[in-house]
Amino acid sequence: IPLPVVAYATGPTESLTLTLPDRSIVRLGPQTVLEYRAAREREVRLEGRAFFGVARDDGRPFVVRTPLGVARVRGTRFNLTATSRALDLVVVEGRVELSANAASLEVRAGQAGRVTPSAPPALRTVADLKGETRWIGRVLIFQETPLPRALREIEQHYARPISLVDTGPTPRTVTAVFSEQTFADVVTTVCRVVDVPCTVDAAHAVVGR
């Protein structure tokens, strides 16, 4: 028996942030359609634009199918724009395998891959990652993101300094979505998530002991 299709669609001026059953976080841009079948399946179909924060599962890759190609990942953050004319992938964190036209390549953080109907995937270096993802607006998406990297992105987002001091020997990661919260609220929440103390005021923050 075919499993029912779960579909999300946005209008010309709409955006939508959602969490999939595997805990992956997706931000859909305007005029975008995202579909998947089973509650436990890690495969979606995309037409339009989306930012993905994919939950790590080493035993099951997360697959994004588009009209022109396929992206496979195990846990990463990336931006994907998919139309019938071109497929554009920008990797913010981690690695993505991009396949199309009987060829594939690995796209790493800070790189972009592009597919057109008549050509195999091509690779380029991204000069401005923030510019490539500016369309998502005042939204921050972290998916098992190392704490120092998450704090750097919060610094850039709010243009306010954050000092990271001793957080202990255990590596700490952040999985969270923020939209329209204040600088103080975001930093305080991150500190709560990673279980470290912090001091925050309107101008700066100190994270750690």
pLDDT tens profile 15-50: 999 999 889 999 999 999 999 876 567 899 999 999
Q: Which of 24, 78, 70, 81 is CA-nearest to residue 48?
A: 81
Range scoring the smallest mean pLDDT among 11-15, 144-148, 167-171, 186-190? 167-171
Mean pLDDT, rounded, for 143-163: 94
| 207 membership: H or E segment, kind and range | strand 205-207
pLDDT tens, 57-84? 888 899 999 999 999 998 899 999 999 9
Instruction: Answer yes or no: is pLDDT of 113 > 90.
Output: yes
Instruction: Say what the pLDDT of residue 180 is.
Output: 86
Instruction: Say what the pLDDT of residue 2 is.
Output: 65
Q: What is the residue type of 19? A: T
Q: Which of 135, 146, 111, 124 is CA-nearest to residue 51?
A: 135
Percentage of residues of the chain with pLDDT beyond 70? 97
Question: How big is the chain, counted in residues?
Answer: 209
Instruction: Say what the pLDDT of residue 127 is.
Output: 87
Q: How far apart are CA 96 and CA 61, in angstroms?
A: 10
Q: What is the pTM of this model?
A: 0.90
| Phi and psi at residue 182, to the nearest 5° | -75, 165
Mean pLDDT, rounded, for 135-155: 94
For residues 136 and 130, the answer to whether their CB atoms sit within 8 Å is: no
Residue in this structure with the two tokens 């929440």, named with its chain if needed: 189
Instruction: Say what the pLDDT of residue 78 is.
Output: 96
Annotate 159-187 with b (16+ C-beta within 10 A) or e (fewer).
ebebeeeebeeeebebbbbbeeeebeebb
pLDDT band for position 101 (cuts 50, 70, 90): confident
For residues 113 and 97, the answer to whether their CB atoms sit within 8 Å is: no
Neighbours of 134 (CB within 10 A): 9
Enter the tokens of residue 80: 């994907």
Enter the tokens of residue 13: 């001026």
Q: How far apart are CA 129 and CA 133, in angstroms?
A: 7
Q: What is the residue type of 6? A: V
For residues 135 and 29, the answer to whether their CB atoms sit within 8 Å is: yes
